[in-house]
């Protein structure tokens, strides 16, 4: 059921208050991708158990699979049923039109990522289209996130190690961050400090000194994408420095897939899918709870 504009604006105002709390209280909120209803169940149960605010996020592929409005309804239904503080984020949206549709549907958080579809997009093109989304979002109050360049990796399980020196070439700088924010008017800056999409055979290393420099240079919120496969102590420190949102996807997908494989192997004659899934979303819930604890958001929900 569609939300009224008054309901949408009330939700986005609460979302803005959440981001203010992250800065004042020194915690980060987890943004957890969902592929299906089972993953959503894992997220909402973790949020309820730990009394933590959470963002549920979907990217282009997940929107196509589940439906933009359907996802809005699912999140709202589970939010009411479990009594949790939960918001919806459109993640890495490659087009302005997709962002506008999500804003109209009442998504509280919007990530416009022009370089996702076109890795060679110019800075001018990225700024122009990001500003268009920022202006459109003013009608509902949705918070807009972006970055000035392509963010590497993919939300999957990778067998190859990454070249850290190559990744360092795409790191944020305090100067470029401030310049991009001034040019676009975004609410949240997606920083690149060693975070990388996907799960790799070697742990990621975050440059916390650089993160502090970026934090000192800008006034708006900071997000970290590509949180999977990162030692938890980095998250604890990042939250203290002033990161407001951390994205998690591949760690959840890994737990889902590996647990499902075991459940299927252990139950070769069971064909009722509903009976096979509880252990799967319980495994994903464990991952979500671990991240919530590291982000420092446990006990921080305001319902």
Summarize pLDDT for 242-289 with one digit per residue, the tens. 999 999 999 999 999 999 999 999 999 999 999 999 999 999 999 999
Task: Supply the pLDDT for residue 153.
Answer: 61
pLDDT at position 157 over 80: no
Q: Give residue-wise pLDDT tens across range 196-208.
A: 877 777 788 899 9
Does a structural domain hold residue 98? yes
- Give the CA angle between residues 174, 179, 183 to the nearest 5°: 150
Does a structural domain hold residue 302? no
**Mean pLDDT within 165-193:** 92
Determine the longest span between alpha carbons in the chain, in angstroms. Answer: 60
Does a structural domain hold residue 44? yes
Does a structural domain hold residue 156? yes
Query: How far is CA 117 from each of CA 92, 126, 203, 215, rounded to the nearest angstrom?
Result: 9, 11, 27, 28
Q: d(Cα 235, Cα 298) in Å, to the nearest integer?
A: 14
Residue 175: CB atoms within 10 A of its CB come to: 11
Task: Supply the pLDDT for residue 204.
Answer: 83
Q: Could you list the active site residues?
A: 91
Does a structural domain hold residue 301? no
Bridge partners (DSSP) of residue 56 are 32, 88
Q: Where are the beta strands (DSSP E) in 18-168?
A: 29-33, 54-58, 86-93, 109-112, 143-146, 153-157
Number of domains in the chain: 1
Q: Give residue-wise pLDDT tens across range 16-59.
A: 999 999 999 999 999 999 999 999 999 999 999 999 999 999 99
204: CATH: 3.20.20.70
- Non-local (6+) Cβ contacts of 154 within 8 A are 197, 198
Q: Give residue-wise pLDDT tens across range 122-150.
A: 999 999 999 999 999 999 999 999 998 76
Q: What range does the domain containing 83 cover?
A: 5-295
């Amino acid at each position: 059921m569609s939300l009224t504009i008054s309901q949408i604006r009330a939700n986005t105002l609460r979302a803005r208050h959440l981001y203010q709390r992250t800065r004042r209280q020194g915690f980060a909120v987890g943004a957890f991708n969902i592929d299906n209803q089972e993953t959503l169940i894992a997220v909402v149960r973790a949020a309820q158990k730990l009394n933590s605010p959470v963002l549920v996020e979907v990217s282009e592929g997940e929107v196509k699979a589940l439906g933009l409005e359907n996802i809005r309804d699912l999140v709202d239904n589970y939010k009411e049923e479990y009594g949790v503080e939960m918001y919806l984020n459109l993640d890495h949206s490659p087009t302005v039109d997709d962002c506008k549709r999500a804003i109209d549907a009442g998504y509280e958080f919007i990530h416009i990522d022009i370089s996702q579809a076109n890795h060679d997009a110019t800075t001018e093109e990225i700024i122009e289209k990001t500003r268009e989304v920022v202006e459109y979002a003013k009608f509902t109050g949705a918070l807009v996130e972006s970055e000035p360049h392509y963010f590497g990796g993919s939300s999957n399980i990778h067998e190859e190690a990454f070249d850290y020196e190559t990744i360092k070439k795409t790191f944020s700088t305090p100067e470029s961050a401030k310049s991009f924010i001034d040019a676009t008017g975004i609410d949240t800056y997606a920083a690149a400090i060693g975070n990388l999409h996907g799960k790799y055979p070697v742990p990621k290393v975050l440059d916390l000194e650089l993160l502090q420099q970026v934090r000192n240079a800008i006034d708006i919120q900071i997000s970290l994408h590509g949180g999977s496969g990162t030692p938890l102590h980095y998250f604890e420190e990042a939250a203290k420095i002033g990161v407001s949102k951390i994205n998690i996807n591949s760690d959840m997908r890994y737990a889902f897939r590996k647990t499902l494989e075991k459940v299927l192997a252990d139950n070769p004659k069971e064909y009722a899918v509903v009976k096979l899934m509880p252990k799967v979303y319980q495994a994903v819930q464990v991952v979500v709870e671990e991240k919530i604890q590291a982000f420092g958001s446990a006990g921080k929900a305001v319902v």
